[in-house]
C-alpha cells in the first residue's frame, strides 16, 4: 500500500471511493394513489444507496410494467415515464453493482413471467450460495449460463417457478427463502400482492410504514418520511410479509439470529434514518464524543469531511471543547463521472468535490473527522490540501475502527490487499496519509454508541468474523470477485 518513503502507491486512484451499499429498495401498495410517483420520491430518499441504475415496476392487477435505466433516479424518470406507469402496487430499486456487471441487464427490479404469474423483485444485499440456488433451476441453467447474470436474477427465477405448485408466490417464497444464504432485504410483487422479506441475520435494514390507504416498505425510515408514511416497525429478521386488500400477513420462515450491519451506523444509512429505535444522527454524534475521549488532540479547530463526517465532528467538538467549524466546502453538484483524466488532473481531482476555506484554516491546528479510511488516497489528498491552505498541523480522526476485511453481505469493499488497514499499522497509515496524528474509534466504543447488544451486530469488516460462513479462499476478494469465481 505504501512506498518506502511512506507515500501511497496511487495518487487519488479513481477506485478510491467511499464504501458503497448494494442498493435501496422501496415498495408501495395503495389502491387509488399514484404509486409510481410515490416510488419515485421514495427512490430519491434512497439515492445514496445506489447511483448506477434505477427502476420502478407497477402492477394494475392484470400485468406488470417495468421501467428501468442506467443512471440516477432523476435521469431515469421524467413526468411522461411516470405518468405511463399505472397501477396500485409498485416496487422500486436503485443499484450499485456487487454481483453482476454494471449494465442495463442487471438493473432492477428484475422481472420474470410465466403463464401462471409475473414477478418484479428488488434486492438489497448479496447472496453467498448463488451457485447452489441456480442448481435448483435444473440442468443447463447454472449460474453464468442461464439468462440470469446476478444473484437477484436467480432468486427471481426461483420465485416465479414456484407458483406452479399450490399456494402461489407467498408459498413459493416461504419454501425457497429458508434455502437462501447471505444478505437479502427483498421487496417484490406479483400482479396483486406486495411482499417483503429479510434474511435471518437482518444484515440490511428494511422497514414497514402505513399510508392513509395503504402500506410502504423501504430500506430506510427516511424514505417513509418523504412519502408521508407512518413508521410501523422493522421487518423482522427471518420474516416474510404480504400486503394486499386483506391487510398485512406475517410468517416467520427462519429463526432470527440478528447481525445488523455495523457500517450502516457509521456511514451507509442517512443520518435522518432510525435503526433499532435509535436515530443515526444521534449515534454518530455519540461516536464523535467517544472518539474525542479515546483520541484527544491539542488543536484549534474541529472540521468534518462533509457530509459523512459532520455528526461525528460535532460530537468530537462537544466532548473536547475545541471549536467546531466548516473548513472544507463540498460541491453538491458533483456526481459520478466517467471522464478519465490525465494523471495531473487526477492528482488534483479531490478539489472537484472539496475545497478548503483558507481564511478558516490558515495558521491553525486542525482536527479533521471522517467516517472511514478504505485505501487512504482520499485522506492523503485532504491532508495535503489542508496543509496547502496553511494548516499548522492536521490531526485525522476516524469514526470507525480500521476496516481490515472485505464484506460479503452487500457492501462493495475492496479486497483485503487493497484495504490499507489490512496490511498497515495505524502508525504506518498515519505516515502514508501525511497526518500529524491519526486515531480511530475503538470497536467497543462504536458498538456502545449504537446502543445495540454487541452480539446482534455484524462487525466482520472490522474483526473478520463472518456471521454467515465465507470460504477461506474468498476472504481476500470483493463480493463481485467472489461471485465470479463461483
Write out the three cell numbers for 346: 487526477
Rg of the Cα trace of the chain?
23
Q: Is the peptide bond before 109 cis (omega within 30 degrees of 0)?
A: yes
Coil vs helix vs strand at 128 = coil
What gap in Å lies between CA 237 and CA 219, rounded to an integer? 13
Q: Is the peptide bond before 307 cis (omega within 30 degrees of 0)?
A: yes
Write out the three cell numbers for 4: 518506502
Helices (H), 321-416: 343-347, 358-361, 377-388
CB 372 within 8 A of CB 399: yes
Task: Tell me the residue ranges of DSSP E strands in 336-480.
Answer: 354-356, 365-370, 393-398, 437-440, 457-458
Please choose, from the candidates 16, 15, 24, the residue with its C-alpha nearest in 3D space to the C-alpha of residue 50.
24
Residue 44 C-alpha from the chain's centroid: 14
Helices (H), 46-167: 73-76, 79-83, 130-135, 151-161
Q: Is 424 a catalytic residue?
A: no
Say how many Å lie between the first and final Cα of the chain, rounded.
28
Given strand 182-189, what is the order of strands in its sheet?
A: 110-113, 118-127, 182-189, 194-198, 239-244, 247-252
Please choose, from the candidates 308, 307, 301, 355, the residue with its C-alpha nearest in 3D space to the C-alpha of residue 328.
355
Question: Which helix (H) or strand (E) segment is 120 a member of?
Answer: strand 118-127
- Bridge partners for 145 per DSSP: none
What gap in Å lies between CA 419 and CA 405, rounded to an integer? 7
Please choose, from the candidates 62, 53, 51, 54, the residue with its C-alpha nearest in 3D space to the C-alpha of residue 20.
51
Residues marked as catalytic? 23
Amino acid at each position: 500500500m505504501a512506498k518506502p518513503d511512506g507515500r501511497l502507491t496511487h495518487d487519488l486512484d479513481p477506485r478510491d471511493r467511499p464504501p458503497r451499499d448494494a442498493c435501496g429498495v422501496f415498495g408501495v401498495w395503495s389502491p387509488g394513489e399514484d404509486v409510481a410517483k410515490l416510488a419515485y420520491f421514495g427512490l430519491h430518499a434512497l439515492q445514496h444507496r445506489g447511483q448506477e441504475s434505477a427502476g420502478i415496476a407497477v402492477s394494475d392487477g392484470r400485468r406488470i410494467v417495468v421501467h428501468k435505466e442506467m443512471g440516477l433516479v432523476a435521469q431515469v424518470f421524467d413526468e411522461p415515464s411516470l405518468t405511463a406507469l399505472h397501477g396500485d402496487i409498485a416496487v422500486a430499486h436503485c443499484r450499485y453493482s456487487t454481483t453482476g456487471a454494471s449494465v442495463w441487464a442487471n438493473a432492477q427490479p428484475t422481472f420474470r413471467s410465466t403463464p401462471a404469474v409475473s414477478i418484479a423483485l428488488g434486492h438489497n444485499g448479496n447472496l453467498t450460495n448463488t451457485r447452489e440456488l441456480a442448481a435448483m433451476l435444473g440442468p443447463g441453467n447454472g449460474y453464468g449460463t442461464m439468462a440470469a447474470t446476478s444473484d437477484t436474477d436467480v432468486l427471481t427465477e426461483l420465485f416465479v417457478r414456484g407458483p406452479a405448485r399450490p399456494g402461489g408466490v407467498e408459498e413459493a417464497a416461504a419454501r425457497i427463502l429458508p434455502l437462501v444464504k447471505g444478505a437479502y432485504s427483498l421487496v417484490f410483487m406479483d400482479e396483486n400482492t406486495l411482499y417483503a422479506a429479510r434474511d435471518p441475520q437482518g444484515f440490511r435494514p428494511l422497514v414497514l410504514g402505513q399510508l392513509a390507504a395503504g402500506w410502504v416498505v423501504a430500506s430506510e425510515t427516511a424514505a417513509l418520511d418523504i412519502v408521508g408514511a407512518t413508521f410501523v416497525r422493522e421487518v423482522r429478521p427471518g420474516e416474510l410479509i404480504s400486503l394486499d386488500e386483506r391487510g398485512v400477513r406475517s410468517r416467520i420462515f427462519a429463526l432470527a439470529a440478528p447481525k445488523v450491519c455495523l457500517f450502516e451506523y457509521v456511514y451507509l444509512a442517512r443520518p435522518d434514518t432510525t435503526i433499532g429505535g435509535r436515530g443515526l444522527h444521534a449515534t454518530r454524534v455519540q461516536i464523535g464524543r467517544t472518539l474525542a475521549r479515546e483520541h484527544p488532540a491539542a488543536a484549534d479547530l474541529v472540521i468534518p469531511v462533509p457530509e459523512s463526517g459532520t455528526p461525528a465532528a460535532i460530537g468530537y467538538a462537544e466532548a473536547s471543547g475545541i471549536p467546531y467549524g466548516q473548513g472544507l466546502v463540498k460541491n453538491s453538484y458533483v456526481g459520478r463521472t466517467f471522464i478519465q483524466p490525465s494523471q495531473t488532473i487526477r492528482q488534483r481531482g479531490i478539489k472537484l468535490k472539496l475545497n478548503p476555506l483558507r481564511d478558516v484554516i490558515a495558521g491553525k491546528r486542525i482536527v479533521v473527522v471522517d467516517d472511514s479510511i478504505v485505501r487512504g488516497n482520499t485522506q492523503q489528498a485532504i491532508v495535503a490540501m489542508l496543509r496547502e491552505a496553511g494548516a499548522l498541523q492536521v490531526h485525522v480522526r476516524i469514526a470507525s475502527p480500521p476496516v481490515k476485511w472485505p464484506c460479503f453481505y452487500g457492501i462493495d469493499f475492496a479486497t483485503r490487499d487493497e484495504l490499507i488497514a489490512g496490511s498497515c499499522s495505524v502508525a504506518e497509515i498515519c505516515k502514508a496519509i501525511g497526518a500529524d496524528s491519526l486515531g480511530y474509534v475503538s470497536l467497543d466504543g462504536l458498538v456502545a454508541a449504537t446502543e445495540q447488544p454487541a452480539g446482534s451486530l455484524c462487525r466482520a469488516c472490522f474483526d473478520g468474523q463472518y456471521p454467515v460462513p465465507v470460504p477461506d479462499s474468498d476472504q481476500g476478494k470483493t463480493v463481485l470477485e467472489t461471485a465470479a469465481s463461483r
